[in-house]
Amino acid sequence: MPSLAEHLIRWHPLNGRHDLPWQQRRDPYAIWISEIMLQQTQVSTVIPYYQRFMQTFPAVDSLANAPLDAVLALWSGLGYYSRARNLHLAAQRIMQEHQGQFPESRERIQQLPGIGRSTAAAIAVFAFGQREAILDGNVKRILARFFGIAGYPGQPKIQKLLWQQAEAALPADHRGGLIEIYTQALMDLGSTVCTRSKPQCDLCPLQPQCIAWQQQRVAQLPAAKPRKPLPRKETVLLLLQHQQRLLLEKRPSSGIWGGLWCPPEMTIGADAVDYCRQQWGIAVQSPVEMPALDHQFTHFKLRIYPQCLDVAADSRVASPDYIWLKPAEALELGIPAPIRSILMQNFSAGKLPLGKC
C-alpha cells in the first residue's frame, strides 16, 4: 500500500496550489519572508502584504539597511509584530555574520531570530531541497488524524510523538524535487482539505488509511487546547489634537505593539485634564468620549476607550518619543490595527474630528 508521502506526492500535481507568489523560486530570502508571514496568518491575508514587502525590500540587504519604522509600517495590520522586528534583526545578522548569504542548513537557519524548527525546515526544503520534516499547525492536524494521536498537540509528549511521525513519514527519496512537492502537499492538504472544521474527507488522498476516519474521530482529533476564559483589560486612549495634528508616541520595543506608534494611553478612572498637565505640562479642554472598541489578543481581551482632546494653542510636547502628525500621515506609519480603525472611523477628508472636541 502506498505510504503517506507517496499518496501526497501523487495528489499534489492536480490538487495542490501552484500559483502563490512565493512559489516557483529558490530564493531563500523570498521563501523566508513568506514563511514568517504565514505564521498564524491565512494565505489570502498574506499575499498583498508579501507583494508590497518584496517590492519595497527585494533582498536581504535592503531589509537590513531599512529603518525599523519602515518595516513596521509595511507590517501594520498583519499582527504579531514581533515577527517584523525579528525579520529586521535577522536580516542584519545575515549581513553581519553570514556575509549576506542565507544559511543553508536547518540548524543554522534556526539560529536566526524568530525562526523555529518547523519554519527553518520549510526554508531548507524549499530553498535548498534538503530532506527535513515540518510540523506547523496544519501538519499537526493531518498527522494526529492519520495516526489517531489523541491529546493536545501543544503538550510536550504529544509534540515529541508528532515530530517522530513527521520525520518517519518523509519520502525516502528526496531527489528531483520530491521533498518540495511532499512538503507543499502537506501544507496544501491541511489548508484546503484536512481543515480544522468541516474537513473534506471525501477528497482526501489519505482517507483509506486515516485512523480518525476509520474510527469516526475526525471531529475529535487533534484535541483542542484546554481553554480558560481570557482575562479582560481596559485602557483609555488619548487622541490629543493640535492644529489638525495628532500626538503619537513610540511604544517600547518589547510588549504589546512593541516599536509601533500609538496615541498615549491612560489608566481607567484617571482625569484626562490632570493627567495631561502632570505628564506633559500641557493644557487640554475637557475630553469628549468616543465609541469604545474591543480588540482580542492571544492571551487577553482589550477594551479601548478613546477620548478626544483639544490641546491649547501654546502647549507643546517635545521628545524624540513623541511626534505630531496629520491623520493621513499617521496612517502611513507602523500603527496597531485597532488604532488604525479608530483613526479611519473618526476623521474625514484627512482631518481629525475637531467638531466633536
Which residues form the catalytic set?
35
Rounded to whole angstroms, how far apart are CA atoms 98 and 164? 31
| Cα radius of gyration (the chain) | 24
Angle between helices 178-192 and 4-15 (to 10 degrees): 80
CA 186 to chain CA centroid, nearest Å: 21
- 289 phi/psi in degrees, rounded to 5: -75, 140
Residue type, 334: G
Peptide bond into 229 cis (omega under 30): no
Distances (CA, A) of 127 to 83, 111, 116: 20, 17, 16
Rounded to whole angstroms, how far apart are CA atoms 182 and 6? 8
CB atoms within 10 A of CB 301: 14
What letter does residue 219 receive in the DSSP assignment? T
Rounded to whole angstroms, how far apart are CA atoms 1 and 351? 67
The Cα angle at residue 105 between residues 99 and 106, in degrees rounded to 5: 120
Distances (CA, A) of 19 to 4, 24, 33, 37, 115: 24, 8, 17, 17, 25
Q: Is the dihedral of CA 56, 57, 62, 68 positive or negative?
A: positive
Q: Which three cell numbers stand for residue 271?
A: 482625569
Q: Which residues pair with 308 in a beta bridge?
A: 239, 288
CB 272 within 8 A of CB 309: yes
Q: What share of the chain is helix, strand, coil (3-state, %, to 5)?
A: 45, 15, 45
Q: Which three cell numbers stand for residue 341?
A: 480603525
